Structure 1
């Protein structure tokens, strides 16, 4: 099996850039880009990977995490859930600013991929600037507050976990019934860990998002009501 050695962050960015969708008879990137405010938790790993990606997965800067998440939601809504954007934040208050926007996307079934930085898996150094952790439980970080407002939540503690976590997240983001926010918490040190990823995993994939029509009986009942 042919493999490519990449950091976890590089693999994540390359995978997202390879996702395609059919829109008005034309294949276009599923992800229009990534909104990001860089700080502790996402600058050294994901930030570097996004810089290397360039126009294949554009980075958009903002000044408020909730605002950029709402912008991503508006983009998905304007494209009738057939295109979407990702959002990355730092490890502390930046992540909490995503909660309200995630709740909006959750109740309206709009696709939103959240990529908040997370605490070091090695726990060294700990804590870092602005890190919010639960001192009574070493397994919790502030990103766990995103669990109730995420249709899918995962924390990537080893680079190999991307192989299952990313397809699961994409399956949720492209499902009309299950659609909503998908959160992948990205520990700082794991973002920069290198691993040998299968080359085939990065082949472009075309998503066809179904839009099943309503049942005639349901339409009749609605009309009578």
Structure 2
């Protein structure tokens, strides 16, 4: 057995692509795809990992973080909470724009996976 080296983003994409749920003895894929807006601090190379090998994940590039998240909520409701879309944004205002949708999903008990951007750990805070 050999070791496979992956970046964090490559490992995340593979992980999301291999999530399944089982209901009444029937397995189905849980994460159908990802909505994303690429920008500063966007989850350590997620765009590159999705371009290299997205597996069966469908990738949609959004224009507004809140709209993406509300679309993901609608998708999960339509599929009776058995399928989801992940949502990724850039750091700062992009991540803040997802907060309203996160509250909506939480209040309605809808699964919503948010992957907000982050700053590099090696960069000191200003």
Q: Please report the TM-score for the alignment, with normalisation by the length of structure 2.
A: 0.89
Query: Could you report, residue by residue, the CA deviation over 1:77-103 in whole angstroms, capped at 9, with x for unpaired residues?
Result: 111111111000001211111000000
| Residue of structure 2 equivalent to 1:40 | 40
| Residue of structure 1 equivalent to 2:90 | 90
Structure 1 spans left out of the alignment, 5+ residues: 127-134, 136-225
Number of residues of Structure 1 aligned to a counterpart in Structure 2: 126
| Residue of structure 1 equivalent to 2:117 | 117
- CA distance in 1 between counterparts of 2:96 and 2:36 reads 14
Structure 1 contact 50–58 (Cα < 8 Å) conserved: no
Could you tell me how far 1:21 is from its partner in structure 2? 2.4
| Residue of structure 2 equivalent to 1:70 | 70
Structure 2 contact 31–84 (Cα < 8 Å) conserved: yes
Structure 1 contact 105–111 (Cα < 8 Å) conserved: yes
1:140-155 aligned at under 5 Å gives the runs none
Structure with max Cα Rg: 1
Structure 2 spans left out of the alignment, 5+ residues: none
RMSD: 2.1
Which secondary structure does the structure 2 equivalent of 1:122 belong to? coil
Structure 2 contact 9–46 (Cα < 8 Å) conserved: yes
| Structure that is richer in helix per residue | 1
Which secondary structure does the structure 2 equivalent of 1:4 belong to? coil
